[in-house]
Structure 1
Amino acid sequence: MQHTRDKDAILQLLNKVLPKLAERIHANLEPVLPLFDDYKLEKVTDTWTKDPHADDDTEISVENGNVQQVGLKLRLEGFQRAGADAFDIAKNLIFKLELYDYSVGTGKGNAWLEKQYYESWTDSEMDEVAVKWSEELIEEITQRVAGIGE
């Protein structure tokens, strides 16, 4: 049976999948965290984007099961290294929620993984997404330090 996006499906992502991904991402970023003054990794829920199929009067909320995106937001502040300008960096991991499935990526039109609601994540899928996202972040940090793309 194919499940549709609803309150329980969204809560499962927020309470089961995102925390496990956040743990893996945190572990992957351990080597770069000391380079920054502050580190925040938090769950986010988009309550602004309207479902194109929804009634205009329906409030966008997890409770109503009509949220379009959830994810993780990372913010690293105050890069500190001699000879380099201080900077902050932010990066999102976006779960784009469709009616019957969702995709995971950075939200720039790329989807690294697509899953149906309630379909279990394997350890290798968790690792793959966490590593890919962490590698992109480390590449962005490297480019900033090298003065590329400013």
Structure 2
Amino acid sequence: MQHTRDKEAILHLYNKILPQVAERIFQNLTEVTPLFDDFNLERVVDTWTKDKSGFSEKEISIENGNVQQVGLRLRLNGFQPAGAQTFDMSKELMFKLEYSSYEVGPDKNTKWAEKAYLEPWSKQETEEIANRWTEDLIEEITQKVQNLG
């Protein structure tokens, strides 16, 4: 039986999958984070976006099983390339929650993977998403440094 988006499915993502991916991203960033004064990697829940198909007046929450997006948000503060201005970076990994599956990508319009709810992630899948995300981040930092120079 295919599982649909509900409290159980969202909690599974939030408590099991996101920390797994975050841990992998954190490991990938060990050479990047020391370049910044401060960094923060946190789980986020979008409680603003309403379900396009739903007419429910229920508050948007994990508890009500009607959240549209969860994800990870990284904030890197105070990177100072030699002789250049300090800058901050922010990057997200979005899990867009559809009715019977979810999409993973760097924003809600880009899909890197699609999975069924409660389907476990293999170590390889976790690494692939984390590596792709980290490569994007490093590319963005590199671009920013080059533009400052």
Identify the TM-score tier after normalising by the shorter chain: over 0.9
> Corresponding residue for 1:97?
97
Structure 2 unaligned spans of 5+: none
Describe how 1:40-55 pairs up with structure 2 within 5 A.
40-55=40-55
Number of positions where the alignment pairs a residue of Structure 1 with one of Structure 2: 148
Structure 1 unaligned spans of 5+: none
TM-score normalized with structure 1 length: 0.95
CA-to-partner distance for each residue in 1:23-44, whole Å, 9 max, x for gaps? Answer: 1001111101111000000000
Amino acid at match of 2:71: G
> Corresponding residue for 2:142?
142
> Corresponding residue for 1:67?
67
Percent identical pairs in the alignment equals: 60
Provide the C-alpha distance between the structure 1 equivalents of 2:49 and 2:109, rounded to a whole number of angstroms.
16
Deviation at 1:114, TM superposition (A): 0.3
Deviation at 1:57, TM superposition (A): 1.3
Deviation at 1:83, TM superposition (A): 2.0
TM-score normalized with structure 2 length: 0.96
Q: Which runs of 4+ in 1 moved over 3 A?
A: none
Deviation at 1:108, TM superposition (A): 4.9
RMSD (Å), alpha carbons: 1.0
Provide the C-alpha distance between the structure 1 equivalents of 2:98 and 2:87, rounded to a whole number of angstroms.
35
Describe how 1:7-46 pairs up with structure 2 within 5 A.
7-46=7-46
